[in-house]
Chains A and B, each alone.
Chain A
Amino acid sequence: MIIAPPGGALGEFVERDRNNHPQALTPGYRTSVLRAPRNALIVARNTISEMTGPIFQQGELGELDNDLILNFSKDSLPIGERIIVHGYVRDEFGNPVKGALVEVWQANAGGRYRHKKDQYLAPIDPNFGGSGRMLTDDNGYYYFRTIKPGPYPWFNSTNAWRPAHIHFAISGDGWAQRLVTQLYFDGDPMIERCSIAQTAPRDLLNTLIAQEDPANNVPFDARTFRWDITLRGRRATFFNNVNGVKR
Chain B
Amino acid sequence: MSGMAARPMVVRYPETPSQTGGPYVHIGLAPAQAGFDIFENNFGNVLTTPETTGERIRLEGRVFDGSGSPVNDALLEIWQANAAGRYAHPGDTQDKELDPTFRGFGRTGTDFDTGIYTFETIKPGPTPSPRGGEQAPHILMLIFARGINLGLHTRVYFDDEAEANAADPLLNSIEWVVRRDTLIARRSERDGEVVYTFDVRLQDTPDGGAETVFFDV
Chain A residues within an 8 Å CB radius of B204: 38
Q: Give the residues from 25 to 71 in chain A that come closer than 8 angstroms, CB to CB, to chain B.
A: 26, 29, 31-39, 41-55, 60-62, 65, 71
In A149-183, which residues have CB < 8 Å from any B CB? 167, 169, 173-176, 178-182
Top 4 A-B pairs, shortest CB-CB distance: A105-B28, A31-B147, A54-B105, A244-B132
Q: Select one of A3, A39, A169 contacting B28, CB under 8 A.
A: A169
CB-CB under 8 A from B164, the residues of chain A are: none
A26 to B26, CA, bound (A): 23
Whether A31 pairs with B146 at a CB distance below 8 angstroms is yes
Assess whether B12 is interfacial by the CB under 8 Å rule.
yes
Minimum CB–CB distance for B23 against chain A, Å = 6
Segment of A76-84, A109-117, A218-226 engaged in the interface with chain B = A109-117
Please name all residues of chain B whose beta carbon is closer than 8 Å to the beta carbon of A105 when the two chains form the complex. 24-25, 27-29
* A contact residues around B18 at 8 Å (CB): 21-22, 179-181
Chain B nearest CB, measured from A193 CB (Å): 16
17 residue pairs A–B, Cβ–Cβ below 8 Å: A3-B9, A18-B216, A22-B17, A22-B150, A24-B150, A36-B149, A38-B204, A39-B214, A46-B130, A50-B217, A54-B89, A61-B39, A103-B28, A180-B19, A180-B151, A229-B16, A244-B132
Counting chain B residues whose Cβ lies within 8 A of the other chain, the interface size class is 35 or more
Identify the closest chain B residue to A246 (Cβ).
B131
Chain A residues near B77 (CB, 8 Å)? 178
Contact B130 A42 (CB under 8 A): no
* Choice from B21, B35, B146 contacting A116 with Cβ under 8 Å: B35
Whether A42 pairs with B26 at a CB distance below 8 angstroms is no
Chain B residues lying within 8 Å of A217, measured Cβ to Cβ, are: none
Q: How many residues in A have their beta carbons less than 8 Å from beta carbons of B?
A: 94
On whether A54 and B23 interact (CB within 8 A), knowing A48-B130, A94-B13, A179-B18, the answer reads no
B209 smallest CB distance to A (angstroms) = 13
Report Cα–Cα, A34/B66, bound state, in Å. Answer: 5
Contact B17 A167 (CB under 8 A): no
Residue among B66, B146, B149 with the most chain A CB within 10 A?
B149
CA distance A52 to B19 in the complex (A): 23
Interface hits, A91-126 → B, CB 8 Å: 92-94, 103-106, 113-118
Complex alpha-carbon distance, A106 and B22, angstroms = 11
Interface status of A129 (Cβ within 8 A of chain B): yes
Q: A21-B149, A35-B66, A42-B213 are in contact. Are A201 and B17 (CB under 8 A)?
A: yes
| Interfacial chain B residues near A103, Cβ < 8 Å | 28-29
- Cβ of A215 within 8 Å of any chain B Cβ, yes or no, is no
Q: Give the residue of A1, A43, A173, A208 whose beta carbon is less than 8 angstroms from that of B8.
A: A1
Q: How far is the CB of A103 from chain B (nearest CB, A)?
A: 5
Q: Are A35 and B145 in contact (CB under 8 A)?
A: yes
Binary flags per residue of B18-50, CB closer than 8 Å to A gives 1, else 0? 111111111111010011101111000000000
Mask: chain A, 214-241; 1 = CB below 8 Å from B; 0 = not: 0000000000000001111100000001
Residues from chain B with Cβ under 8 Å of A49 in the complex: 79, 81, 87, 127, 135, 138, 140
